[in-house]
Structure 1
Amino acid sequence: MNSLGLNLILRLGCICAKETITVNSRKYRVREHLGEGGFSTVLLVEDVVTHKKYAIKKIVCYGSEDQQLAMREIEYYKLIKHPNVIECIDSTRIGTADPILNTTSEVFIVLPYYHKGTVANELERRARNCDYMNPIDILSIFLQICEGVKAFHEIKPEPLAHRDLKTANIVLNDDGTPIIMDLGSMATARVQVCGTQAARVLQDLAAERCSMPYRAPELFNVESYSMVDERTDIWSLGCILYALCYFKSPFDTVYERGDSVALAVMSAHVTFPENTPYNEDMQDLILSMLKVNPMERPYIYSVIESVHDTIAKLEGRV
């Protein structure tokens, strides 16, 4: 057999050997890897029957705690039904995680695929051309993100906090509607911290699961006797609104330089670029959420009200 024929067979073999994933009797062919985090991999897949594209989040669990966290994430998807929060289409667990037996389990979560990508992708594209968005368009997008966050915060009997809100965790659907994704860091919002050990546990968990440029100050330095609540998300929303205006979180540059994000966040020294199409009303709205003391931060209902007021002011000036 000549080398051309052998290469053809090898290529065909690679195509035929394309990985497939079965979730509750539905089979999906893996098209490509979309992203990878410390705890999971996100794959672009195609239903082998309908050829419709989906995203599958694959979580490898090494112990019972990992497994419980993954299954809890699935419960959160089922619990929160909102147009600005991603839906779970299907899910399954394969195997049992047992470190003593040296076995792992895999949890697969089937999610919609949004080909437009994330808000972070859109802002990177705009940053290259200094293409600032219209202030009213920004506030319209931000308002929808806030409505999604409100769905977490008003869950009964106890509110939930997303804990990793950032532009990379918000996708855009075909008509540009923002949809919050990745509920893997979600947790009960209100935590009464009693003692240094409890503080250390929460701080370590935040370090693992909450992105630094969007992480609230009280999660960098958890006090031994304190209360942490859903306003951790309000800080992140302030960073998101800043990014919608200026393409990056106010603490992204510190992170990229390798300087201490914790110190920058704790001082909350936020500067605004000059010669941009955003006035003091927008800047005041951002700063109202970026209060170092969480007790001075508004709850989501007040944020939504302030966004409506700012939109009304801007429309009044048009």
Structure 2
Amino acid sequence: MTTLAGWFAEHGIPLDAEPELTLIAGGHSNLTYRVNDRYVLRRPPRGHVLPSAHDVGREHRVIRALEPTPVPVPHSFGLCEDTAVLGAPFYVMDLVPGTVVAGRDDGAAYPADARGPACRDLVGVLAAVHDVDVDAVGLGELGRRAEYGARQLRRWRRQFHAAARELPLVDEVHDRLAAAIPPQRRTGLVHGDYRPGNVLLAADGHVTAVLDWELATLGDTMADLGWLTATWCEPGEEELIESPAANPGFVRRDELIAEYHHRTGSDVSDIGWYQAFALWKLACIAEGVHARYKAGVMGADGVDVEAQGTRVNRLAEAAAAALTTLD
């Protein structure tokens, strides 16, 4: 049986000792490990995996395709689909310098004079993601392009119900979203979870790498802007998902939207729908996370499982509240 050390050797990846894996806390989906302080390894959770979720092969494919583009991604050393090596498929990539500025404390620790530039580069990199010629880089078959909103609503409702609990509000919000899907004005590569917690930032405010591409697909690029701004927690707002933006120096949500419009020329008039959709989708994802922690397959990283379940309800309520602005 091939060992992990043997796999590294077969792929010409230098190691100065036996590979030692250290779980990097913070992610609630695919598991991320630091390998000997030189590399990063990504693999699916150990169990209770929902259909079509946690496809590290897909994530690896996207990162590999984006390496020659202006989108900053880690260099990938290879994908292993032989589950005998580690018990699951995995891929290995560079350990890129930078800081994950995910939550309020991270934002407070991040250099004050770099916060504004970081916000602008977050939007600039998002614009670069949406500008990728997917056919030229080999991602033209990553997913269907049309009717993104309808397809996403069907998919995540199905994933939600596969996680076990019944929460009627999730279905109610789904129906209201489905009845008001905006026209898909621009089609391109969609990251699916674009926010400060999924990028690495240098101390001067520029993005050194975009991470966590497991939800990437083709479709309505406005969905990423809706996600970024829906998860952008301003001062005085309830923090339903970790965000650094309540700290001084981080720009307001409307400024992010204006910057994206300036960079891309995209029509942002329907942004409210995309923000409500993002909160609803987060509720569906959070329910899957809750189910995995409850099943004990996410490792012992101190997460309050019951609080995670309550968070699902609060996200659904926030999505319903966001929809009232569209009435």
TM-score computed with the length of structure 1 as normaliser: 0.49
Rg larger for: 1
Q: Which has the higher contact order (CA 8 A, sep 6+)?
A: 2
